[in-house]
């Protein structure tokens, strides 16, 4: 498909997984009714983000666990693919992963990614870092990649996906209101330097003493902001086109990379 009709759900966290799933069900129906084929939700969207290490451990489950099955049922009921965040089981004695998963409109799990860059004391207290670089997956004629929140603030994960042929990078996130430079500066830069779409679905509202900043953003492959939300809950819809990728990639600097000089950057 030349066009990807994408919806970003900018929302506050629900007080429990049952309500989170009910809200997701209603939002998936609304997104599909407005023509979206893929819905991207915030980081840890089904459980809340700052719920403490005990809360995360209690709600963690395998990638094919009850939450995944519930999301698959919602995706099938409304005919829409869904990217959502959840805590994923780790080995016994280890903290869970902060994960994002994509489930297609026919209920199939096609991608699962574990956040590799942990942000501050909050993340480190609750999660283990993922130990695998993000990988591209194919869906409806598009090459897609998943990152989670802080990952997009580093050049390497996005560049790794671009070198694998990603057309768009989908980023569930929970960025606080004090860090708007991510949406203003870093997202356009990541899109431009890699000639990809970047879709950043942020939380909003309060969770404990934390205020999430909203401003969910979609950037095109020349760094232009194609859509951006405000501070409050909303459903942001945007159409991504392969036609925008082709001319942007004709002038891509990736072909001029000096990989022979870059080894010290990884040490």
Which residues are tagged catalytic? 43, 115, 149
Helix (H) or strand (E) holding 199: strand 197-202
Q: How distant, in Å, are the alpha carbons of 50, 165, 246, 250 from that of 253? A: 39, 14, 14, 9
3-state secondary structure of 86: strand
Chain centroid to CA 118: 15
Distance from C-alpha of 127 to C-alpha of 219, rounded to nearest angstrom: 29
Length of the chain: 267
Query: Cβ-count burial of 80 within 10 angstroms (0-12 exposed, 13-18 middle, 19+ buried)?
Result: buried
| DSSP assignments along 110-158, one per residue | EEEEE--S--HHHHHHH-BPP-S----EEETTEEEEE--GGGGGSHHHH
């Amino acid at each position: 498909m030349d066009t990807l009709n994408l919806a970003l759900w900018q929302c506050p966290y629900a007080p429990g997984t049952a309500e989170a799933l009910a809200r997701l069900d209603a939002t998936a129906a609304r997104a599909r009714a407005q023509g979206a084929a893929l819905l991207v939700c915030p980081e840890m969207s089904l459980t809340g983000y700052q719920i403490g290490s005990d809360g995360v451990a209690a709600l963690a489950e395998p990638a094919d666990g009850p939450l995944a099955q519930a999301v698959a049922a919602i995706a099938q009921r409304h005919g829409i693919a869904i990217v959502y965040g959840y805590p994923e089981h780790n080995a016994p004695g280890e903290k869970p992963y902060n994960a994002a998963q994509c489930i297609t409109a026919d209920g199939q799990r096609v991608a699962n990614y574990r956040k590799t860059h942990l942000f501050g004391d909050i993340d480190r207290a609750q999660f283990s870092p993922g130990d695998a670089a993000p990988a591209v997956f194919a869906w409806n004629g598009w090459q897609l990649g998943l990152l989670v929140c802080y990952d997009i603030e580093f050049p390497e994960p996005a560049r790794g996906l671009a070198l694998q042929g990603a057309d768009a990078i989908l980023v569930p996130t929970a960025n606080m209101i004090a860090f708007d430079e991510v949406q203003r500066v870093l997202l356009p830069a990541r899109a431009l330097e890699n000639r990809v779409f970047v879709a950043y679905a942020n939380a909003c509202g309060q969770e404990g003493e934390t205020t999430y900043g909203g401003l969910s953003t979609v950037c095109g492959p020349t760094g232009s902001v194609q859509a951006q939300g405000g501070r409050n809950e909303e459903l942001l819809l945007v159409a991504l086109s392969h036609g925008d990728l082709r001319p942007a990639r004709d002038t891509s600097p990736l072909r001029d990379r000096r990989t022979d000089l870059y080894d010290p950057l990884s040490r």
